[in-house]
Structure 1
C-alpha cells in the first residue's frame, strides 16, 4: 500500500507588485511554527531546486519571482495591516526575512482590501496604513477604488512591466534605521578592505532596506550595463558579493562574511552608479542621457536586477538628498527628486530630507508603482513536505 499522502490547499492570491511577483497569504492560513511555515512556503514556490528552475512550484526562478508575503490585521495604533515579506532562495532551503520588498509593497494595499482587512470607499482613493514587520516601518499606500472594487487596470506605465495598470502611490515614512543610524558607521562614505578586491569606497545606508552603494567606475563599469553584461561574468559577480558580504559585517548586519553569503542573501543589496548617458534598455527602448540624472543598477540575490527594487529606489532617493554619499557625488550635488536610468527604463523618486542635530534624516520617500491580481484560489502542496 502506498504511504504517499494527499495534497493540501492553502488559500492564496498570486500577485504582481511593481516589477516583482509573489504569493500572498493571510497569516491565519499558515502554520504558526516558523520552521514549518518556512518549509510550506518553500514547497509552494518550488525550493530548494538544485536545477535552479522551481519547476515544481509557482516560483519563476529569479529573485523577482521567488517571493512570499504574509498579511494580517494590525493591532498597532495608526496601522491597518501588518506585512511580512520573505525572499525564497532558489537553490537553498532558505527563506530570508531580513528585509522588505518595495515592489510587492504596492500589492499589499489591494490584497488587504480584497481580503476585507480594511475599509475602503466605494469610489475614490483608499489609504492603507501598512506596518512593514521586516524593517519596523510604516508605509502608506494610496489605492484607487471604483464601484466598490480596487481599480486594477489603467494607463500608468511602469518600466520593467510590459502592460499598463492603475497607479498606486506609496509613501515610505521615516525609512531610515531606528535610532537615526541611517549610516551605521556614521559616515556617508567608508573604505572597505575586501580581500581579492582591494579598497572600495562605499556608502553603507539603512533606508527602505540596508544597501551598499559603489560607483560604476570603481568596478570597471559605466552604469549602462544590462543583465547579460553582468550575470554572465562570474568573476564580477563574485567581486560584488565579496563587497556586499564585507559591507554587511561592517554595517553590523552579519556576524561573519560567510554568514552574509549563506544566511543573509536578501539584504543588504548592492548597487552601482554612473554619470547619465544614453543607452538601450533590455527591451530595445532608447533612453536619452539628457532625460535622466544618474545611471543606477542593483543586484538582487547575486544577480543584476532586470529593473530596480522598490527599496533600492528608497535608499537611492535618501542618498541623493544627503551630501557626501556615492550617489550625491556622482550626481554632483544633492537632489530632493531624481529620475534614474535602470536596465528596463527610468524611475522617478523623491525624498524629504532634513539636517538635524543628530545628523541627516529622511522623513519620507514617495514613488508610484502598480499591482494586479494574477490568480486567486489555493496553492497546493504535498502534506509530506519531504515527498
Structure 2
C-alpha cells in the first residue's frame, strides 16, 4: 500500500470543525503541524499540533510549507481550496501523491443558496487581491454576480465603482461570515450604502442595474472603449482581424505594434484562459495600452516596450502572432525562422509597399490573402455620401 500524503489541504468554513467530514477531522487530529490564517486557526480547538500562522506576503507561506516536507502537515483554507483558493498554488508546487484535499462548502455555493440563484448562470469572482475593474466586461442589466472581497471596506469601494460605471441602481446584498455564528445579510443599492461596518470574511451578491455602457460579447467593440492617439485598428477591421486570429482556449498572442492595444485587449476578452503580450516601441503608447487594458478588466495583458524583432528575443513563444505595425520583410523572415510549426500569423497592411510584401508572402507560404475596402456615410455639403477608408490587405497563414 502506498504511503499516505504528508500534506492535507482542508477547506474550513465559519462553522469550524462542525462542517468538516470525518476524514478532515482525522487529519487534524493526526497533524504534527497546522498552518493557516489566524482566523482559521482560531476556529479549531487546541491540540498537540504546532500551529503556524500563514505569513504575508502569501508566497512565503508556500515556501514555508515546502520546508515541512515529510512531516504530517495540515493547511487550512477557506471553503473550497480550488476555487480562488490556495489549493491550486500548493498543488502546483508539489508532486502528485504528496498531497490530498478535502474541500469545504465554497462561499459561492453558500451565497447562491442564501439568494436562491442558479450558480451555472451566476458569475463568480474572487477579488481579494484583484482590481474591481475585472468586473467591467460583466456589467450589464440583469446580470448576477457573486464577488469575494478582501475586507469590509471593499464593499463601499465596489459600490463607488458601480456608480462611476453608470450602474448606480445595482442591488448589492452583502453577506458576512456565511455559515458561521456571525452570519449577516444586508441589502442595499450601490448609490445608497449605509454607514455601517462590514466584517471579514465578506462577499457581495450583485444584481446589476443601470444605464451604464455595456461591453458587447462580440469582437469589434466600439472604438470609444479605447483611449487612442489615432493609432488604432478600427472597429470593422478589428472584428475581421479577431476572426482571422481565431482565438482558442489557453493560446498566447503576440500583438506586434500595439498602438492602443485594441487587438490584444479584445483577444483577452474572448476567453479568460487566453494570454497576450503587446510589443510597442513608444513609451506613451505603452502607458495608454496598459491603462486601456486595466479599465476594460484585462489587466493580465503584458505590455513590452521595444521594437520587433529585437524585443521578441526573450519572450515566451506564441501560438498566434498579429502584426499591426512595423511590418517588414526582416520581421517576417525572423518569425518564420524562429517560431515553431503550427504558429498562426495574421498581418494587416495599408501601404502599397507592405501590401506587396504580403502578396509575396502569400505566394511563398500560402495561407489566405484578403483585401478589405470599407466606406461609411459622411456629409457632402447639405447631403450625404460614402467616404472610403484606406483599403486593408490582410494575410493569414500557419507556419
Kindly indicate whether structure 1 or structure 2 has the higher relative contact order, using CA contacts under 8 Å at least 6 residues apart: 1
Same fold (TM over 0.5): no
Q: Which TM-score tier does this pair reach, normalised by the shorter chain?
A: under 0.3
Q: Highest CA radius of gyration, 1 or 2? A: 2
**Larger helix share, 1 or 2:** 2
**Larger strand share, 1 or 2:** 1
Q: Calculate the TM-score normalised by the size of structure 1.
A: 0.26
